[in-house]
Chains A and B, each alone.
Chain A
Amino acid sequence: MCMDSDAKNTGISRRLFLKGSILTPLALALGSAAISAVYLRPAQARGFYLRPPGAIEEARFLAACVKCGKCAQACPYKSIVMAGGEAGVGIGTPHIVPRENPCYLCPDLPCVKACPSGALDKQLTEVEKVRMGTAVIVDREGCLSIRGLRCEVCYRQCPLIDKAITIENRHNIRTGEHTIMEPVIHKDKCVGCGICEKVCVREKPVIAVQQRVTEQKDFYEF
């Protein structure tokens, strides 16, 4: 009698054990695998997100950022926006959409000061040392200045005028008597704030902030 009930008890507890200790972690693992298939694509696969000033290297940034939104709350221009679910692994991370609202390079960098976790590096104190990305003329045919018209809006509005963007004059061989005043970007000086992308007069900006390509030194050591 007593043994019978004991055996019964062990049977139930074994079933419970199986259910609790094997099936549920398995279900959890399957669920997380399904979610990670969507989420854990490499960061590069989702295109370039312009991060706030001082952001550390993207792969580490995605983990170091705790998605608290304090940088966005500290931004006086509301330039920093928080990514939604469309950003996948970058969900809830701060970024800047320069065509809508670029970074206006506050001299005291309140976003960097607000970051608690070190995702925005507090060693950055000078705006000229910001390296969020770099401006690139993505459509030379579309650029009014390069076509020989007087525009140069990007040059005039650049916070690092004559450093990050300079105007280089050359003879306009098409008309034979005018000068082409071409805006030239100097990547070593460009901070990537995106003001040029914001102010470009063309409907689709011909100048845009792109990812700063860093040399992968590991691959070049022979």
Chain B
Amino acid sequence: MNFKRWGIARCAVQLLMIALLASPLAGLAIFTGNLAAAELLGLPLADPLAFLQALLGGRVFVLSYLLSALLVVGFYFLLGGRTFCGWVCPVGLVTELADRLRRKLGTGTQTLPLTLNRWSLALVLLVVMATGVPLFELLSPIGIISRAIVFAALLPLLLVAAILLMELLVARRVWCRSLCPLGGFYSLLAAFSPLRIGFVAEQCTHCNDCLKVCPVEEVLQPSLELNHPQVVAGDCTRCMACLDACPAKALKISIGYQPVSRDVTDPLKGGR
């Protein structure tokens, strides 16, 4: 197995995020807040879904808050949308570690459909519009982990433990893949993002090593089988694990929008 360049870079960024969250405890004045709203070196940043819930549920509008949410939306749009899930989110880091254990145990091989996170996003927005209750902010394991780090609020970590247990024993990475409404939000954004995984069909040896490491292999697989030049689906977290895994360098980063070639026979429809 070759050197996991992207895997190491990604892990470094994930750990850096944890360090940033914890930095006020060490008396450093570079970062305050958490992933819902923060200030990094004086730059205000805001989770766009938290912004929407505050706007719809609390009926408050603060212009600077909107701008900081838009800044984050723009940033993740350019960098691939669900990059947040793969590179920044502390829940992603935790469930990834649990997934390594699950692979060793060989349990919990079930999966739920990826599109479910759009449903949970819709549910969150509907509930906050109808009742004013910010459902996701109440349950968000992202907030729970952040507050456990910053304020030592440990009891709500039980919810994170429940998620990990479910992922370990029943369904593989079910929270990040299918349930997280913020993941749903970023999937919708990622579908239009210019930063994508590109595929060079001529170099592919069909070893399927990429599919073994991909957390959302059902969107990678059709792209490979149909010889698409890019993985288009918004569910791709741009974790780049497939780039690390590919021995033939058939997968690469691809910037911009490449049209799907229509001359290739669709193997799913029984051609080839």
Contact = CB atoms under 8 A, between A and B. Distances in A.
Interface residues of B, number: 55
B62 A116 contact: yes
B112 A24 contact: yes
Interface stretch (A80-88, A189-197, A198-206): A80-88
B258 interface: no
Contact of A116 (B68, B151, B179): B68
B154 to A, nearest CB: 8
Interface string A64-98: 11111110111000000110111001011000000
A56 B37 contact: no
A39 to B, nearest CB: 6
A92 B143 CA distance: 8
Contacts of A89: 133, 138
B128 A63 contact: yes
Interface string B45-64: 01100110110111111101
Given A24-B112, A40-B133, A82-B147, A64 B155 contact: no
A114 interface: yes
Contacts of B127: 32
Contacts of A20: 112-113, 115-116
Contacts of A63: 53-54, 56-59, 128, 132-134
A66 B156 contact: no
B230 interface: no
B14 to A, nearest CB: 20
A118 B39 contact: no
A31 B41 CA distance: 40
Given A117-B54, A119-B54, A66 B44 contact: no
B151 A39 contact: no
Q: Which 7 pairs of residues, A with B, have the shortest CB-CB distance?
A: A64-B58, A63-B57, A118-B60, A68-B37, A63-B58, A20-B113, A118-B62
Interface of B: 24, 32-34, 36-39, 44, 46-47, 50-51, 53-54, 56-62, 64-65, 68, 112-113, 115-116, 119-120, 123, 127-128, 131-135, 137-139, 143-144, 146-147, 150-151, 153-156, 158, 178-179
Given A66-B137, A70-B33, A91-B156, 12 more contacts: A28-B120, A28-B123, A36-B135, A60-B59, A62-B58, A63-B134, A67-B36, A69-B150, A73-B150, A92-B143, A117-B65, A118-B60
